Copies of this chain bind each other. A is one copy, B any other.
Amino acid sequence: MGDEIGAFVPGPRVRIEGRTGGPLSGLTFAAKDLFDVAGVPTGGGNHDWPTGRSVPSRHSWAVQTLLDAGATLIGKTITDEVSLGILGENPFDGTPVNVRAQGRVPGGSSSGSAAAVAAGICDTALGTDTGGSVRVPSSFCGLYGIRPTHGRIDVTGMLPQAPTSDTTGWFARDGETFAKVSAVMLGEAIPTALPTRLVIAVDTFGFADAEAAAALQPMVRRLSGLIGDSREDIMAPPGLSVWARAQRALQPVEAYATFKDWLDTRNPRMAFSVARGLLAGAAVPASEHGWANLMRQEARARMAHLLPAGTILCLPTTPFPAPLVGQPLSVLDPLRDRITCLCAQGGLAGHPQVNLPGATVGGLPVGLSIIGARGSDASLVAVARALAAQK
C-alpha cells in the first residue's frame, strides 16, 4: 500500500507479518509512532526525540499483541509531537490528509493512524488517548475508535505523556473489524447482550455546535431504540468547563514532569504551541493542582454513580467536525479548549469511551460517543457492532 495521504512517518516503511492462524490473520494494522517496534527508532513525532535514545529491542505490548493475533504491521504513523496536540498538524512529519474531510485536519494526536484507517490503507491502527487523542480523530475521520478503561491495557513500550490519564486505543472503519480487534486487545469476547439503560448527557449536546448536536440526533434515536429504556440527565454538575479546567491542571503538570529532563538536557526543537503547553504545565500552582485532584475525585464518584453496570451515557465526541488545516493559533486555541470540555471526563474519571461514526455536518463527519462503567469496554464495543449491523 502506498502513502498518498502522508499518514506514515517519512522514511522506509516497517512491515512485520502477523502470526499465521490467529484471530486477526489477514488484517493489517499501523502503529502510532509512540509505540515501540523492535529495531525501529520510536520517533515520537519530534525529530529531536530519538536523539540519544537506544533503538527498542522489544515490541510494545500493543504491537506484540496484534502481531500474535495474526495482524500484519504495515508501518508507523504520524503523531502530534510527543502526543501533545489534538488537531494533527505536525511541523516535522507533516499533517496526514483526512480523506473524509478534505482540507480539514485529521485530528490528533493519533493523526496518522486515523487517517490511514479512514483511507483504507490498513484495517486497524493503534493510537493513544490521554486527553482525546483517539476520540477526536475518530470523530473527525468518521471511524470507530476506543479509549479503553484507564489502566486496563498494558502500556509497556508506549511513550508516556500523563500516566494517570494515558491509554492505548485503536481505530476501525467497520463494526465487525472493530469488534474483532477489540476482543483481542481487551482479551475478552464481545458479548451479544447489550446495556439496558441510556443516559443522554444533555449538557454536552447543548455545548456542541447546534448543527453537530442536530446531526447526532438520529444516531441518538437509533441508540435509544437499540438500548431500550432511556432517560436524560446532566453529566458534569459543576459544568463541563470546570471539569476541563481540572484536567488542564492535571494533564499538563504530568506531561511537564514526563518531559522536563528532555527539555533540560536536549533543549529540543518543537512547535511553539507544544512548548507553550509544556510551560503551562510547569506554571500550574500547587494550589490549582491540589484542587484539580479533588475535582477528579468528585468526577470519579459522579461518573461511577451515573454509570452502574448496564447503563451507558452518550454525548457528542467533539463539539464540531474537523477544522480547516493551517489556521492561526488564535483561531485554533479556542476550538481546542472547547474540545477539552467534552474530552476532559476521559482523563479525569478513566471510564471507557467508544466513538460511533455515522453523522455528518455539511458532509464532514462528527462522532457520537458512548461511555460505560469502568471495565465495560466490551459492552460498548457490542453496542457499536450492533448499531453497525442495523444499517
A270 touches B267 (CB 8 A): no
Within 8 Å of chain B (Cβ to Cβ): is A209?
A: no
Q: Is the CB of A264 within 8 A of B328?
A: yes
A271 contacts B269, CB within 8 Å? yes
Stretch at the interface among A33-41, A274-282, A372-380: A274-282
Please give the count of copies of this chain that the complex contains.
2
A279 near B275: Cβ-Cβ < 8 Å: yes
Contacts of A265 in B (CB 8 A): 328-329
Q: Annotate A233-275 by CB proximity to B: 1 below 8 A, 0 otherwise.
A: 0000000000000000000000000000001110111111101
CA distance A89 to B48 in the complex (A): 15
**Minimum C-beta distance from A78 to chain B (A):** 15
**Shortest CB–CB separation between residue A47 and chain B, in angstroms?**
9
Q: Are A272 and B271 in contact (CB under 8 A)?
A: no
Query: Is the CB of A92 closer than 8 A to any CB of chain B?
Result: yes
The answer on a CB contact under 8 Å between B267 and A269 is: no
Beyond A48-B91, A263-B329, A329-B263, is A278–B268 a contact (Cβ under 8 Å)? no
Q: How far is the CA of A108 from the CA of B190 in the complex (A)?
A: 61
Closest B residue to A48 using CB positions: B91
- Answer whether residue A390 sits at the interface, using C-beta atoms and an 8 A cutoff: no
Question: Are B48 and A267 in contact (CB-based, < 8 A)?
Answer: no
* A/B interface sample: 7 pairs, CB < 8 A: A48-B91, A89-B267, A264-B329, A267-B272, A269-B270, A272-B275, A279-B279
